[in-house]
Chains A and B, each alone.
Chain A
Amino acid sequence: RKEVEQDPGPFNVPEGATVAFNCTYSNSASQSFFWYRQDCRKEPKLLMSVYSSGNEDGRFTAQLNRASQYISLLIRDSKLSDSATYLCVVNPTGTASKLTFGTGTRLQVTL
């Protein structure tokens, strides 16, 4: 089983739609969780950290379910500019600042 698993997509959604991505992780001792965004042929950029209580940043909401070992990202009112690959990222050990990246879920927002 991979340490971090994501549906590769692509998710094709119309502008204005709400879309959700899930990600599962294998190590129950994982401590830190993040969502990154990666545009084509660019570096990943931190979108948001994921906290146990959940967190929201504008149109983006991240949730963590430790019991089921999954993380979710919800994007409301999708924009064309949201088209990118979204990477689920986990610190599997909690003892070193070494992150494990999922392979990403590709989102394409269309007119």
Chain B
Amino acid sequence: DGGITQSPKYLFRKEGQNVTLSCEQNLNHDAMYWYRQDPGQGLRLIYYSQIVNDFQKGDIAEGYSVSREKKESFPLTVTSAQKNPTAFYLCASSPGQRYGYTFGSGTRLTIV
């Protein structure tokens, strides 16, 4: 079955460490996205990519980095520069402008 897979589901890291969240899709979608959701808040866009080897900053890109070397993969690195990284991270993909997103099941990152 086609879908989008995020791993791990839960991640704990010490303050000051970089951490990379995985996102893989086999839907053949061109566009991929990373969102962050904090308790009781809406989704905020971190980075997005509409094509391989190209990506753009979203609304809250500071402290994060991404790469898009393959169509299927869009990993997100949370760096030590991100001041408050504890959150629920959601990866999504889309076939194009008129379509909604398909989300992965998310990664809960906790900085201890």
Beta-carbon contact of A89 and B100 below 8 Å: yes
Which range contains the number of A residues in contact with the other chain? 20 to 34
Interface residue stretch chosen among B11-19, B43-51, B68-76, B78-86: B43-51
Which range contains the number of B residues in contact with the other chain? 20 to 34
A98 sits at the interface (CB 8 A): yes
**Distance (whole angstroms) from the CB of B31 to the closest CB of chain A:** 5
Among B50, B88, B90, B99: residue with most chain A CB under 10 A: B99
Q: CB-CB < 8 A to A46: which residues of B?
A: 100-102
The answer, among B31, B41, B104, for a CB contact under 8 Å with A97, is: B31
A16 sits at the interface (CB 8 A): no
Beta-carbon contact of B42 and A97 below 8 Å: no
Beta-carbon contact of B90 and A43 below 8 Å: yes
Task: List the 8 shortest-distance A-B pairs measured between CB atoms, nearest first.
Answer: A103-B42, A43-B103, A101-B43, A46-B100, A97-B97, A34-B100, A97-B31, A101-B42
Interface residues of B (CB under 8 A from A): 31, 33, 35, 41-43, 45, 48, 50, 58, 88, 90, 94, 96-106
